[in-house]
Structure 1
Amino acid sequence: MGTDQIRRWESGALAHAVTDPFGQGPLPWLRGSENYFDDTGHVVPWYVDHVHSPGAIDRAIDRTAPRARDRRAARVPGPRSADDVHRQIKGFTSASAAAPGEAIDFRITVDPPQQFSVDVYRIGHYGGDGASKITTSPRLSGIVQPAPLTADRTVSCHHWWLSWRLQIPTYWKLGAYVAVLTTADGYRSHIPFTVRDTHPADLLLVLPDFTWQAYNLYPEDGRTGASLYHAWDERGRLLGESEAAVTVSFDRPYAGAGLPLHVGHAYDFIRWAERYGYDLAYAETRDLHAGAIDPTRYRGLVFPGHDEYWSAPLRRTVEGARDSGTSLVFLSANTMYWQVDLAPSPSGPDRLLTCRKRRGPGRSALWRETAPEQQLIGIQYAGRVPEPRPMVVRNAGHWLWEATGAEEGDELPGLVAGEADRYFPRTSLPEHDGRILLAHSPYQDAEGATRHQETSLYRAPSGALVFASGTFAWSPALDRPGHRDERVQRATANLLDRICKRV
């Protein structure tokens, strides 16, 4: 298979970039010593995929520390991103979330067989570095694992042998972690996982692992990979949604660099929230689906990123939390659009995710055709935004906009992007004791028609606040280089401070 074809598939973004202008985003940047030099002599941080265009290289250089840029002439070899064609190193965890004192099992394939190591980072602010190295594995012996199993476009690697077991010390902080896998000959991949617990905290951050897996096209090899959006035909052409998988497995690596396509949204929020000292606990959507965590123990649940796929048990749990007084914060758009079911695989419960969408008999998989998402969120998905547009402030006298400097009708550049939500007048609203729209922003859809994005806040009868940003661009505005907006930062702090009883 030619080099051009490999490059076409190694990024993980070919099929889905149109729905998320931020892609995987600037994944956590680390100190200059963690940067490496690619084979052209340019310095590149670890979170940048192996780049091929001069423009991409220059952008990577511009984001590095000055002392790292000064070393660009050293021309030392550095890691290269593994791809899904050669599978130089790829892996996944048997359980993507565990508590301190428990273990995480890693299943990893290495081709050709050789030693490899695992560096474990925790995502956070860390003085602007974005992550901190927590531990490094011993040198491990890598093997070539069997080829992925496929059945009706469902790809699974549950039969891979155990490669490494990480016993999580009891003193580790809760949070979002990334395992960075590196082979002896310099290939690199990533595996995300979560350290969570049921300890009390002000806010529970919910990572959208349902949606992450729905978009996962592993393996992006032009033959066998499939997501809920795409698959390949026998000629290596990318097929659309009508030919995609109906069921996807958690028992497989993430495509490309090994990180979920939309993971940057969550990392943007985490860096910002930890910088300002918010008391966070961590969970995944599967934890709430399975009842592993009681969300009513928290003042608020934060859904930081693209969170499109929800199961019925997950929705019931979140609605129950709201009705018990726990506030809800939705920092993206297109939330809770598709309904999914979970089933066990040979490796354990809730390892298979099914979304039948519009194919075949039975109930619709669209939430809005049975129980519209607006009845929980207050607004719902309106459509894609082809080009970023300004968010237009509405009701600027509301406490959310306090101390932001925003005036009525002000435009916040680029804050309506990716996908947008709005209020649907013909769809019933949730019960509320007060409701307000805080942005009303025009944009043109792909056909050139004028549409509107809206940002919503309501107070449930229980006293819980439910906020929905209605745009993909809110979390990146908190702490992403080139996207930060002080008004969004202040507005988010106003909201969380009120939920956490800081004011």
Structure 2
Amino acid sequence: MDVGEVRRWESGALAHGVSDPFGQGPLPWLTGEPQYPGDDGRVVPWYVDLAASNGRAPRKPHLPGPRTADDVRRQIKGFATQAAAAPGEAIDFRITVDPPQEFTVDVYRIGHYGGDGAAQVTASPRLSGIAQPAPLVAGRTVSCHHWWQSWRLHIPPYWKTGAYVAVLTTADGYRSHVPFTVRDLEAPADLLLLLPDITWQAYNLYPEDGRTGASLYHAWDDEGRLLGEQEAAATVSFDRPYAGAGLPLHIGHAYDFVRFAERYGYDLAYADSRDLHAGRIDPDRYRALVFPGHDEYWSRPMRESAERAREGGTSLVFLSANTMYWQVELAPAADGGPDRLLTCRKRRGEGGQGEAAKGRTALWRDQGEPEQTLIGVQYAGRVPQPAPLVVRNADHWLWEATGATEGTEIPGLVAGEADRYFPRTPLPDTIERILLAHSPYEGTDGRRCHQETSLYRAPSGAYVFASGTFAWSPALDRPGHVDPRVQRATANLLDRICKRD
């Protein structure tokens, strides 16, 4: 198979890129030369030919920079059997390497490290890689739960909680990634950041090989052509790598907020969507739950947990759009691992009719529970070309010290997908409610549409903010997209929630 054919399989990511102009975002850990322990215990660059240096100063690397592994040749691919763990616990990685050879794992923590965006916290020794069996396929569901364990990461007790990435690199220079979370759900914090791993998995087309891979959006026909949602998987597994470079398609949105919040010293805790689903989160420990990225797929326990948080006085901050659109179910994997299978019945006729269909996965709004009753606005549609966000109610405290006035246009801030207020849809109970942007844009069908940014206060005193656009988090700390007005408005919101002086 030649390079041209390999590139053909990138169509899955490209299809999603139409609705997400920000995607995975920058990979800050690629800016430096990775270091590894040599055979004599000294730290050396991996790509230096030590034998050829004859003990002298190492010469320049004899191989080019790392190349991204693909899902056709599977040079190196892997996943974590647990997406999150606490300091003192362990995370197991299952990794395939083809051809079999040595590889290493470098672990980075996302944050604001002098502007670098990530810091390396540990590295594995050189590990012996094997070519794992082909993925198992049942209908459209693809799983690699039968792969052998390749490496166990013991998380030291002193590690900070946060968003982490394991970078897998083969001896011949191929690279892939595995994201995971280090959490401590016992420690209180001002803000709990929830990484949307359920939505990430919904979009995962692994293996993006033109043959067996499937997501909740796409699958392949017998000729390697990409099929749409009507032929996609109804159930996908967490027991598999992410397609392509090994990072979820929308992960950059979350990382943008992480860098911003850590740069300005907010007191953060970390968890993922499945923690919210499983009831592991006590919202009373936090002043707000923050949903920083594209978070489209919610289970009923997730929604009920968020509603309880709001009713108990914990604020909710939604920094994207198209949130809580599809209702999903989680189930154990074949080996009993909890919450390893994700099901969403999108096609009409699935799940029965009438009372028999109640509680089955579908659009939340079709279940009689529109997302607007929690979020304050709801999904309106895709934004084909970025448009300005138009400020409304500029005298509100959210826009204080931003320099924004009534009608100020913030270029490109309405992008990807947009939310708005639906007048015929019920609203949540509020003691105050305001729309802070009303932004026209041209929809996919050429019609005039609009986006809205919402803030309301629940009877409990909790604030619920919804940016209503994909572009809000990237404006906080994405190179080339930063907007000081959005940074200040977000700080105004978080400071008020955290009751900062």
TM-score (norm: length of structure 2):
0.91
Which residue identity is paired with 1:414? G
Instruction: Please give the alpha-carbon distance, in whole angstroms, between the structure 1 residues aligned to 2:79 and 2:289.
Output: 27
Which residue identity is paired with 2:327? Q
1:148-297 to structure 2, matched below 5 A, reads 148-198=135-185, 199-297=187-285
Q: Which residue of 1 aligns with 2:446?
A: 448
1:145-197 Cα distance to aligned partner (Å, 9 max, x none): 01000011000000000000001000000000000000111110000000001
Offset at 1:102? Answer: 0.5
Contact 1:30 1:129 in 2 (8 A): no
Offset at 1:482? Answer: 1.0
Offset at 1:83? Answer: 0.3
1:16 aligns with 2:5: no
**Candidates 358, 362, 368, aligned match of 1:365:** 362
Offset at 1:30? Answer: 5.6
1:337 aligns with 2:337: no
Higher mean displacement: 303-312 or 341-350 = 341-350
**Candidates 433, 438, 443, aligned match of 2:436:** 438
Change (3 A) 1:92 1:257: same
1:460-479 to structure 2, matched below 5 A, reads 460-479=458-477
1:122-141 to structure 2, matched below 5 A, reads 122-141=109-128
1:84 aligns with 2:71: yes
Instruction: Please give the alpha-carbon distance, in whole angstroms, between the structure 1 residues aligned to 2:80 and 2:283.
Output: 25
Which residue identity is paired with 1:188? R
1:289-312 Cα distance to aligned partner (Å, 9 max, x none): 001221221000100000000000
Offset at 1:4? Answer: 1.2
Contact 2:12 2:218 in 1 (8 A): no
Offset at 1:14? Answer: 1.9
Instruction: Please give the alpha-carbon distance, in whole angstroms, between the structure 2 residues aligned to 1:11 and 1:447.
Output: 23
Instruction: Please give the alpha-carbon distance, in whole angstroms, between the structure 2 residues aligned to 1:401 and 1:330.
Output: 17
Offset at 1:31? Answer: 4.7
Offset at 1:262? Answer: 0.2
1:310-321 to structure 2, matched below 5 A, reads 310-321=298-309
**Candidates 327, 339, 355, aligned match of 1:350:** 339
Offset at 1:34? Answer: 5.5
Change (3 A) 1:120 1:29: closer
Q: Which residue of 2 aligns with 1:53?
A: none
Instruction: Please give the alpha-carbon distance, in whole angstroms, between the structure 2 residues aligned to 1:158 and 1:292.
Output: 24
Instruction: Please give the alpha-carbon distance, in whole angstroms, between the structure 2 residues aligned to 1:496 and 1:184.
Output: 45
1:104 aligns with 2:101: no
Change (3 A) 1:97 1:32: closer
Offset at 1:26? Answer: 1.6
Instruction: Please give the alpha-carbon distance, in whole angstroms, between the structure 2 residues aligned to 1:162 and 1:502.
Output: 46
Q: Does the residue aligned with 1:104 lie in a helix, a strand or coil?
A: strand
Q: Does the residue aligned with 1:320 lie in a helix, a strand or coil?
A: helix
Change (3 A) 1:12 1:117: farther
1:107-159 Cα distance to aligned partner (Å, 9 max, x none): 00000111100000000000100000000001111001010000110000000
Contact 2:140 2:214 in 1 (8 A): yes
Q: Does the residue aligned with 1:349 lie in a helix, a strand or coil?
A: coil
Instruction: Please give the alpha-carbon distance, in whole angstroms, between the structure 2 residues aligned to 1:278 and 1:472.
Output: 22
Which residue identity is paired with 2:222? E
Which residue identity is paired with 1:350? D
Higher mean displacement: 117-126 or 338-347 = 338-347
Change (3 A) 1:276 1:30: farther
Offset at 1:79? Answer: 1.1
Which residue identity is paired with 2:366? E
Instruction: Please give the alpha-carbon distance, in whole angstroms, between the structure 1 residues aligned to 2:302 and 2:244.
Output: 29
Instruction: Please give the alpha-carbon distance, in whole angstroms, between the structure 1 residues aligned to 2:29 and 2:95.
Output: 24
Instruction: Please give the alpha-carbon distance, in whole angstroms, between the structure 2 residues aligned to 1:294 and 1:437.
Output: 30
Q: Which residue of 1 aligns with 2:387?
A: 389
Instruction: Please give the alpha-carbon distance, in whole angstroms, between the structure 1 residues aligned to 2:166 and 2:245.
Output: 12
Contact 2:84 2:271 in 1 (8 A): yes
Q: Does the residue aligned with 2:18 lie in a helix, a strand or coil?
A: helix
Offset at 1:29? Answer: 5.0
Q: Which residue of 1 aligns with 2:26?
A: 26
Q: Does the residue aligned with 2:433 lie in a helix, a strand or coil?
A: strand
Change (3 A) 1:323 1:447: same
Contact 1:10 1:83 in 2 (8 A): no
Q: Which residue of 2 aligns with 1:6?
A: 6
Change (3 A) 1:12 1:449: closer
Higher mean displacement: 273-282 or 11-20 = 11-20
Q: Which residue of 1 aligns with 2:43?
A: none
Question: Pairwise CA RMSD of aligned residues?
Answer: 1.4
Instruction: Please give the alpha-carbon distance, in whole angstroms, between the structure 2 residues aligned to 1:353 and 1:361.
Output: 15
Q: Does the residue aligned with 1:108 lie in a helix, a strand or coil?
A: strand
Instruction: Please give the alpha-carbon distance, in whole angstroms, between the structure 2 residues aligned to 1:349 and 1:358.
Output: 26
Instruction: Please give the alpha-carbon distance, in whole angstroms, between the structure 2 residues aligned to 1:100 and 1:7.
Output: 39
Q: Which residue of 1 aligns with 2:287?
A: 299
Contact 2:29 2:108 in 1 (8 A): no
Instruction: Please give the alpha-carbon distance, in whole angstroms, between the structure 2 residues aligned to 1:484 and 1:124.
Output: 16
Instruction: Please give the alpha-carbon distance, in whole angstroms, between the structure 2 residues aligned to 1:452 and 1:215.
Output: 26
Q: Does the residue aligned with 2:487 lie in a helix, a strand or coil?
A: helix
Instruction: Please give the alpha-carbon distance, in whole angstroms, between the structure 2 residues aligned to 1:268 and 1:427.
Output: 32
User: Any unmatched runs of 5+ in structure 1?
Assistant: 36-72
Instruction: Please give the alpha-carbon distance, in whole angstroms, between the structure 1 residues aligned to 2:137 and 2:112.
Output: 40
Percent identity reads 80
Which residue identity is paired with 2:79? F
Offset at 1:75? Answer: 8.5
Contact 1:30 1:132 in 2 (8 A): no
Q: Which residue of 2 aligns with 1:490?
A: 488
Q: Does the residue aligned with 1:15 lie in a helix, a strand or coil?
A: helix
Instruction: Please give the alpha-carbon distance, in whole angstroms, between the structure 2 residues aligned to 1:286 and 1:338.
Output: 15
Contact 2:101 2:129 in 1 (8 A): yes
Instruction: Please give the alpha-carbon distance, in whole angstroms, between the structure 2 residues aligned to 1:10 and 1:367.
Output: 31
Offset at 1:446? Answer: 1.3
Contact 1:288 1:294 in 2 (8 A): no
Offset at 1:267? Answer: 0.4
